[in-house]
Structure 1
């Protein structure tokens, strides 16, 4: 992967305009409704831009856009920016409380959202005084909407183009301000890291449209296939029919796909996803190495992972899509133009290879800041972002993540990674799912607590089973990691991308520990 990169000095919507000028008849999107060329998508973005300009009443407004898996989202996303306004990403899966937070924090004035979200907003209008208009996405351009006003000022590339909210796993979701320069730079970085070009066909087997996949494909002039069918095998068949070169999926769906392929028996002839496939790319949370290995073996292509966050537009690291992929368990090297280091948790000094500390990143994709200026951006005077993730770099610059700072805890003076303990527990065939966090302890500071979801046949012999599982895991864990508290849980609460919801669990356990100590 090159260490540096050049990217065009264009506004975000200029990526689509450039693609339409270079290859007007090229396929930009393929959905169940058919194909859309770059020229058609660019023209549709113009119509959304005109609609946004008319409804907002002038430049500088914030336009909510629901990132649904269809052609309306990219048209509205680029159109909102083209109108001289800022696009605010709106997850159509969130409910009233989440919508109220996003629309209030961002002071959204106009919204292009799916019908279900529009219905929810109708019940919130009295609490959203800034909201002037709500338009259902697929009805936005059903009628003539006029043209863009003349005399729009040239776009400042350091102005906000998009506001994206964090997932909120460590607190309330925060609005991240991403500039035109941030997003265009990361589009170029992602295209280089994923080896995208005008001959690429990307299949997105995702529940929502992610701007990383959108911007990088448009930058490269690649075609995108949107698969709305949640069944992994159906998505694989679609990849074969459309000649997909890159397959994007979430870990939970890829895990299910690996199981489906294993049940289908040994591979007979050809690659199930088609001969054009060059890589399967996983994102959102960690994909188990065993799952990645099984998929790579069955599909005959590397299964690679990356790393990033909303604050990084979002990609900062990626494994190589070459045949070797990269060392198991890593999230790859820094993408072109990006620097990464690991610093001591307390002294904040850079550490050498294989030393564990907090991951810091800097590069042109680094956000302008948070929407709320009172929130600490985590960016120091030299431009390093403290990510809040614990990890280490090997001698080749491959990044290995250990856990989140908010999730790790100390037993005496030793750092315990819940994720590492979970990975050991998960190898026991009697464990269907598990979650690990800290139980407050007056002597050691904290001890390891584990919540385990048992597979059905083992539930009747509950106590014997739990003792046996814990004994087996503890023999493989360091003294300070060993499980001291365990209980059966019905399910592990997880975020939409599969990460355990540890924050609420920690709070509940702290309350229980306090009651126990007082008894």
Structure 2
């Protein structure tokens, strides 16, 4: 995709941030040079890449793929324990990391014997005193050793990790075909063309936004400001046409007292993704800016997009119809039969963007007919639009990050006062949901000051997990209710937690 865009639009601005600009010709050349350096060291290896919102990520992403290696996407907010798992199970031999991530890695580096090199990327890389991306390129051959590797469309290009419900994250294997097909699907669904300027107001660089813009030959603008109002002004300055952000940021913009003085001059659509944006925030922004606010749906297993609302005909609270060449059906959770229009059930999808499979797992990724069970509950309307209702699995999203309660529970259980615990999601106006816990104390625990003890338990956990996994509320209880067969009913516990929180 990049080579085609560079050939067609060599002088067009491809990616820019507050400190750097890359035109397509220079972008492609930078990828070629880095790919040559990677090829001189590795072939068919796993190269991990921190998804920092910076042009360095884009260059390294395409260079790893072009060199005949596979990209392992690493969340820059991972705590050391999960980072060790991701790098270890993927077999990463090299890591492109931010200085902050490299610092967390230092304490566990001895547990990763296959990891040979760490190269710093991002705007702060040059001040950290370690090898940087530019230094790596300067010390590498200008031409690939052994020539350019042959890459087949069904070869694995990307390993994208996703949280499980009962254990550590597992790797999703995406082929070159998966990635390129979905790039075209996203560009078509969002009406991204060569004249578009996509604006990424996101905490990390998601390959979906990178690939769809490159596929269309569009310009990408990266905004890392913490102030949502700054992002609107920057979008106007660059003539943005597509404004991409997260529900948590858009929800905050909708209630910001400065909203009345803001206008979009060139933006034609606001796109929210990752989790649900409330109908109230959606309506407020759409009415204020007089542009459609759309949502989509997808999974790591689907490269990721399967559905998108149509900017020309937005439907409130829907994630839209399937993208091109993609099918969706809803089946009964127990029997697996296809249900009628409007009836609730598990969402299943199939299409050319379906993953190759899971890392180190031999079972098929889909059923014999190619259908992928998503684990989400929803229903379809008569026009094939999908409405999501609930999750079968117990994970939830906080600030667009997928949170597995079991990961937090494992940390909670290490606290000396905790005998038993269950983590559930608590609704939050801006973050979508946050983690909250029911805790049963050990008999020997000091209960003289329960509020202080609860605060101490929260602090213990929050020091050991990523920010989006932080506990926001701890309820100390005598016992955790269970069903007759001894199972925890998280749906009932969520309601109990909400009542407990509201009644404080």
User: Shorter chain as normaliser: what TM range?
Assistant: 0.7 to 0.9
Q: Which residue of 2 aligns with 1:252?
A: 248
Matches within 5 A, 1:38-437: 38-56=24-42, 59-137=43-121, 138=125, 139-142=132-135, 143-146=138-141, 147-168=143-164, 171-260=167-256, 263-264=257-258, 266=260, 272-274=263-265, 276-322=266-312, 324-326=313-315, 328-373=316-361, 379-407=366-394
Is contact 1:191-1:219 (8 Å) kept?
yes
C-alpha distance in 1 between matches for 2:373 and 2:7: 40
SS in 2 for 1:213: helix
Residue 42 and residue 497 in structure 1: after superposition, are their counterparts in 2 closer, same or farther (change >3 A)?
farther
What are the ranges of 5 or more consecutive residues in structure 2 without an aligned counterpart? 126-131, 396-423, 439-456, 487-504
SS in 1 for 2:387: strand
Residue 135 and residue 433 in structure 1: after superposition, are their counterparts in 2 closer, same or farther (change >3 A)?
closer
Task: Please state how far the C-alpha of 1:118 moved relative to its aligned partner.
Answer: 2.1
Q: Which residue of 1 aligns with 2:413?
A: none
Q: Which residue of 2 aligns with 1:417?
A: none
SS in 2 for 1:345: coil
Residue 407 and residue 127 in structure 1: after superposition, are their counterparts in 2 closer, same or farther (change >3 A)?
closer
Q: Which residue of 1 aligns with 2:448?
A: none
C-alpha distance in 2 between matches for 1:386 and 1:87: 25
C-alpha distance in 1 between matches for 2:150 and 2:375: 37
Is contact 1:52-1:110 (8 Å) kept?
no
Task: Please state how far the C-alpha of 1:272 moved relative to its aligned partner.
Answer: 1.3
Residue 398 and residue 423 in structure 1: after superposition, are their counterparts in 2 closer, same or farther (change >3 A)?
farther
Task: Please state how far the C-alpha of 1:98 moved relative to its aligned partner.
Answer: 1.5
Residue 173 and residue 511 in structure 1: after superposition, are their counterparts in 2 closer, same or farther (change >3 A)?
farther
C-alpha distance in 1 between matches for 2:103 and 2:358: 29
Q: Which moved more, 1:186-195 or 1:128-137?
A: 128-137
Task: Please state how far the C-alpha of 1:153 moved relative to its aligned partner.
Answer: 3.8
What are the ranges of 5 or more consecutive residues in structure 1 without an aligned counterpart? 1-14, 409-421, 440-488
SS in 2 for 1:389: strand
Q: Which residue of 2 aligns with 1:512?
A: 480
Task: Please state how far the C-alpha of 1:175 moved relative to its aligned partner.
Answer: 0.3
Is contact 1:250-1:497 (8 Å) kept?
no
Task: Please state how far the C-alpha of 1:75 moved relative to its aligned partner.
Answer: 0.6
Residue 497 and residue 277 in structure 1: after superposition, are their counterparts in 2 closer, same or farther (change >3 A)?
farther
CA-to-partner distance for each residue in 1:18-60, whole Å, 9 max, x for gaps?
Answer: 111111110001111132101111111112212222332xx11
Task: Please state how far the C-alpha of 1:435 moved relative to its aligned partner.
Answer: 7.3
Q: Which residue of 1 aligns with 2:411?
A: none
Q: TM-score, normalised by structure 2?
A: 0.77
Residue 265 and residue 182 in structure 1: after superposition, are their counterparts in 2 closer, same or farther (change >3 A)?
closer
Residue 501 and residue 283 in structure 1: after superposition, are their counterparts in 2 closer, same or farther (change >3 A)?
farther
SS in 2 for 1:512: coil
C-alpha distance in 2 between matches for 1:307 and 1:510: 40
SS in 2 for 1:307: strand
Task: Please state how far the C-alpha of 1:242 moved relative to its aligned partner.
Answer: 0.5
Residue 108 and residue 259 in structure 1: after superposition, are their counterparts in 2 closer, same or farther (change >3 A)?
same
SS in 2 for 1:162: strand
Taking only aligned residues, the RMSD between alpha carbons, in angstroms, comes to 3.5
Residue 206 and residue 168 in structure 1: after superposition, are their counterparts in 2 closer, same or farther (change >3 A)?
farther
Is contact 2:377-2:389 (8 Å) kept?
yes
SS in 1 for 2:288: helix
CA-to-partner distance for each residue in 1:77-109, whole Å, 9 max, x for gaps?
Answer: 110111111010111111211110101110001
C-alpha distance in 1 between matches for 2:15 and 2:3: 15
Is contact 1:52-1:63 (8 Å) kept?
no
